[in-house]
């Protein structure tokens, strides 16, 4: 049977099996109208759970900072990836807002911006410039690196949500996290399909990704937290780190990958 044009597209376009257009058209915004938080009045969350949620909210809210650093690289030249990432950031904003609603139900303020002064603040401002220059020389193989980091981050965050929910044993929180998990499922599908496809196509992309993972931390945006909050969140992340690492090692060329602790 002769190949169809659709078959040719699947061969030529990395991750073409994911319907990016359908995803962008069905993006999920605010969850507030569908959240039932009344159960927290009778069964409030513990201080340790609320601290974890504050950190998760801050990490989700910091997606735009990560996206800024990604889109100054050759990754922005891939229209499908860029369309996904912009929609992904939109959905992550509203996921953070759902977590903020949980905090508000407990009269807890979300974490503010971590103060970075002096050299740290200067680095934050010039980092996109350096990233653009460095990755410009790498070219399109950097997309595979970003996709692999994306799925690694999603796996780590998913495990962290599950750990927090298990510790809390709170039906009201379970319902909130279930909504977030539903949104995250499409994110994971895209990143995994892209990562596996791109890494399988290029030896150079596999080499670059291995090098990046040697200095990477997940969750990626945990750097937005203060040192104390980052250590506290990493304590939760590490409880499922072996499982997360095992999943990362199933990606093409990443069998021997190691991860740095988040702190």
Domain ranges of the chain: 45-248
For residue 154, pLDDT beyond 60: yes
Is residue 4 very low, low, confident or very high in pLDDT (cuts 50, 70, 90)?
low
Q: What is the pLDDT of residue 3?
A: 55
DSSP conformation letters of 8-65: HHHHHSTTTTS-HHHHHHT-----GGG---THHHHSPPPHHHHHHHHHHHHHHHTHHH
Distance CA 34, CA 243 (A): 32
Which secondary structure element, helix H or strand E, spans residue 111, and what is its range?
none
Q: What is the pLDDT of residue 131?
A: 47
For residue 205, pLDDT beyond 70: yes
Q: What is the pLDDT of residue 120?
A: 45
Is residue 30 very low, low, confident or very high in pLDDT (cuts 50, 70, 90)?
very high
Q: What is the pLDDT of residue 122?
A: 42
Distance CA 214, CA 241 (A): 15
Query: Which DSSP state fits 4?
Result: P
Residue 58 burial (CB < 10 Å; 0-12/13-18/19+)? buried
Q: What is the pLDDT of residue 76?
A: 87
Contact between 198 and 15 under an 8 Å Cβ cutoff? The reply is yes
**Could you tell me which of 208, 184, 238 has the C-alpha nearest to residue 28?**
184
Is there a cis peptide before residue 60, judged by omega within 30 degrees of 0? no
Q: Structure pTM?
A: 0.88
Q: What is the dihedral of CA 154, 131, 124, 148, to 10 degrees?
A: 10
| pLDDT tens readout for residues 168-182 | 999 999 999 999 999
For residue 47, pLDDT beyond 90: yes
Is residue 53 very low, low, confident or very high in pLDDT (cuts 50, 70, 90)?
very high
| pLDDT tens readout for residues 88-137 | 999 999 999 999 999 999 999 999 875 444 444 444 444 444 444 445 44
Mean pLDDT (whole number) for 209-223: 92
For residue 234, pLDDT beyond 90: yes
Q: What is the pLDDT of residue 259?
A: 76
* The most confident of 24-33, 105-114, 207-216, by mean pLDDT: 24-33
User: Helix crossing, 203-213 with 171-201: angle to 10°?
Assistant: 140
For residue 64, pLDDT beyond 80: yes
Q: What is the pLDDT of residue 114?
A: 58
Q: What is the mean pLDDT of the chain?
A: 89
């Amino acid at each position: 049977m002769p190949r169809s044009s659709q078959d040719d597209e699947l061969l030529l376009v990395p991750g073409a099996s994911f319907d990016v257009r359908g995803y962008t058209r069905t993006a999920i915004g605010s969850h507030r109208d569908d959240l039932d938080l009344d159960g927290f009045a009778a069964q409030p969350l513990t201080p340790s759970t609320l601290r974890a949620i504050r950190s998760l909210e801050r990490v989700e809210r910091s997606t735009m900072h990560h996206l800024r650093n990604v889109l100054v690289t050759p990754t922005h030249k891939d229209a499908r990836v860029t369309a996904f990432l912009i929609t992904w950031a939109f959905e992550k904003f509203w996921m953070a807002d759902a977590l903020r609603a949980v905090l508000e139900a407990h009269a807890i303020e979300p974490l503010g911006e971590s103060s970075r002064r002096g050299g740290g603040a200067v680095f934050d401002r010039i980092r996109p410039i350096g990233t653009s220059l460095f990755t410009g020389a790498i070219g399109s193989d950097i997309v595979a690196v970003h996709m692999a980091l994306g799925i690694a981050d999603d796996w780590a965050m998913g495990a962290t949500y599950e750990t927090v929910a298990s510790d809390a044993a709170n039906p009201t929180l379970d319902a909130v996290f279930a909504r977030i998990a539903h949104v995250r499922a499409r994110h994971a599908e895209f990143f995994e399909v892209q990562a596996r496809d791109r890494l399988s196509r290029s030896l150079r992309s596999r080499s670059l990704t291995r090098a990046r993972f040697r200095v990477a931390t997940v969750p990626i945006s945990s750097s937005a937290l203060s040192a104390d909050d980052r250590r506290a969140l990493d304590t939760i992340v590490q409880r499922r780190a072996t499982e997360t690492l095992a999943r990362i090692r199933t990606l093409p060329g990443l069998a021997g990958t190691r991860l740095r602790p988040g702190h």
